[in-house]
Amino acid sequence: MIEIALYQPDIAPNAATIIRMCACFGLTVTIIEPAGFAWTDSSFRRAGLDYLDRATVRRSTSWETFVVENASRRLVLLSTKAETLYSSFNFSPDDTILVGRESSGVPAAVHRTVAARILIPMKKNERSLNVSLACAMVTGEALRQTSGFPVL
């Protein structure tokens, strides 16, 4: 099953929104520490509602730990620096979709480590979409391709 990983998320409501999405689709989400907010942050709890308690959330203490823990999974980075469009990428059920920090994305070392980098096309001169919106778009496509949506 597709999984989601958030690299050192720094905006609590966006991380909570992604966790909420994962709860609704039955996906596991990993938070790669350090996060830029406390788990008790009121905006985090407010955005996540009771979904935070229903989601499968793992926490990795560092990027290096995360890589070891996920060695059997293909890491697919969502990046504005990628060349492959997410809509033409062939997702597999064992993929982990990795999204970076709102403020700075991911460092070069992470770019070098991942198996694939994908892009959401946007108008020229626009920087990026909100990370939770971008994650939802790509997750929807990955679930469509892998027949991973929950059975109604």
Model confidence at 48: pLDDT above 70: no
**What pLDDT does 125 receive?**
86
**What pLDDT does 42 receive?**
77
Decide: 97 and 135 in contact? Cβ < 8 Å: yes
Model confidence at 45: pLDDT above 70: no
**What pLDDT does 129 receive?**
86
Query: How many Å apart are CA 69 and CA 60, to the nearest integer?
Result: 8
Q: Which residue has the tokens 């001169």?
A: 125
Model confidence at 81: pLDDT above 80: yes
Instruction: Report the sign of the C-alpha dihedral through residues 148, 76, 44, 52, in that order.
Output: positive
pLDDT in tens, 51-70: 788 899 999 999 999 999 99
Could you tell me the residue ranges of all domains in the chain? 3-146
**What pLDDT does 103 receive?**
86
> What is the residue-averaged pLDDT of the chain?
91
**What pLDDT does 147 receive?**
87
**What is 3-146's CATH number, 3.30.40.230, 3.40.50.2300, 3.40.50.1110, 3.40.1280.10?**
3.40.1280.10
Displacement of CA 33 from its chain's centroid (Å): 13
Predicted confidence band of residue 117 (pLDDT cuts 50, 70, 90): very high
Average pLDDT over residues 4-11: 95
**What pLDDT does 152 receive?**
67
Alpha helices (runs of H) in 2-130, residue ranges in sequence order: 12-25, 42-48, 51-54, 63-69, 108-113
Predicted confidence band of residue 41 (pLDDT cuts 50, 70, 90): low
